[in-house]
Amino acid sequence: MRKLNVLIAGSTGYIGVQLIKLLINHKYINIKYLCGNSSVGKKISDYDKSLKTKKLPKIIKFTKNLLKNIDVIFTALPNGEAQDISKHLSKNITLIDLAADFRLENSSDYLKWYKQKHRSRKLIKKSIYSLPEINNKNLKNYQIISCPGCYPTSILLSLIPLVKNKLIKVNNIIIDSKSGYSGAGRNVYKKYENKNLYESLSAYGVGFHRHNSEIDQTLRKFTNKEINFIFTPHLTPMFRGILSTIYVDLESNVTQSKVINKLSQFYKKDGFVKILKQDSLISTNDVINTNNCFISVCKTKYKNKIIILSAIDNLIKGGAGQAVQNLNLKFNFPPKTALWNF
């Protein structure tokens, strides 16, 4: 089988570097171009020393002429930039976007939440939002694949099976998520230069974080009822990992055991989502440097309320790993290719 030629735009960010680390172990992929802006002319090993012994191209500036011999583009860029690249796609090129440019189905929602007009609106219909464990559509029919955000990944994997099977009430869901500071990108140090990043826990985007739109849009596909939830993210003094704590009310005659059984049944054939024994306490250390999502269902002092814990690595399962999952789905590669031993 011929290897697919890949271009990675935004190769020096935390997600971009993690993507490179995965793809160098993908037996069906050849990394042909690494692209950046301020990093042009540098080696990727300047950003991660563990790549020093790997044979990788120097970083160059993206131009449309690079696409002549490319099969797949990964975009790990600031929001908005993948839209411009998407305009240069030929029919044989697949774009897998790790930002938010094609997550929302309506350009008006993109303007509302991301405060910029969508510059490639016609291509939204040619794209698909793909959470690999949930998506049941054939990715071969789509040229643009949008990967979910890191927070929504940890949240939606926990909630979708329960909403779909009418096990929980959807009018009062409380979501508290905590992420390592890598989720804020390499410039996080500038944003928090007046605070001690390593000794501080900070709430941000309270009430109106952009990922609200993505969570809402997705959950509405699985219920006819009105969805009401509150989502609050926090930045923690650790480098990577996400732990989401989700408070939900059970529907009548639904028990903690029934919820666990349904989740276990839903993901029984999945290689990455692990449903733990009831009341298991999980931490980000359980999943960092893996493509796994650990989910635990905990009882409370109220019979009709449970707490769901969901942990992922924001850079892998919430980012690069999920992108590779979508690559494998699109091209019918074995699901765990490049995702099992790293």
Distance of alpha carbon 184 from alpha carbon 204, whole angstroms = 11
Distance of alpha carbon 326 from alpha carbon 62, whole angstroms = 23
- For residue 107, which phi and psi values (nearest 5 degrees)? -65, -25
All residue ranges of the chain with pLDDT < 50 are none
Residue 125 burial by CB count (10 A; 0-12/13-18/19+): exposed, middle or buried?
Answer: exposed
What's the sign of the alpha-carbon dihedral 35, 112, 174, 255?
negative
List active site positions: 150
Let me know: does 227 contact 220? Beta carbons within 8 Å.
Answer: yes
Hey, how many other C-beta atoms are within 10 angstroms of the C-beta on 263?
23
- CATH fold of 151-314 reads Dihydrodipicolinate Reductase; domain 2 (3.30.360)
Q: What is the pLDDT of residue 198?
A: 76
Distance of alpha carbon 293 from alpha carbon 310, whole angstroms = 7
Joined together, the tokens standing for residue 5 give 């030629």
Give me the residue spans of the domains in the chain.
Answer: 4-147+318-330, 151-314
Q: Encode pLDDT of 256-312 as tens digits.
A: 999 999 999 999 999 999 999 999 999 999 999 999 999 999 999 999 999 999 999
Q: What is the pLDDT of residue 41?
A: 87
DSSP state string for 247-315? EEEBPTT--HHHHHHHHHHHTTT-SSEEEPPTT----GGGTTTSS-EEEEEEE-SSTTEEEEEEEE-TT
Q: How are strands ordered across the β-sheet holding 273-275?
A: 202-203, 229-236, 173-180, 242-249, 305-312, 293-299, 273-275
Same fold, 4-147+318-330 and 151-314: no
Q: Which amino acid is at 188?
A: V
For 41, 161, 188, 197, 214, the CA distances from 153, given in Å and listed in that order, are 34, 13, 21, 25, 10
Distance of alpha carbon 199 from alpha carbon 238, whole angstroms = 9
Q: What is the pLDDT of residue 160?
A: 98
- CATH fold of 4-147+318-330 reads Rossmann fold (3.40.50)
- Left (φ > 0), alpha (ψ -120 to 50) or beta: where does 200 sit? beta
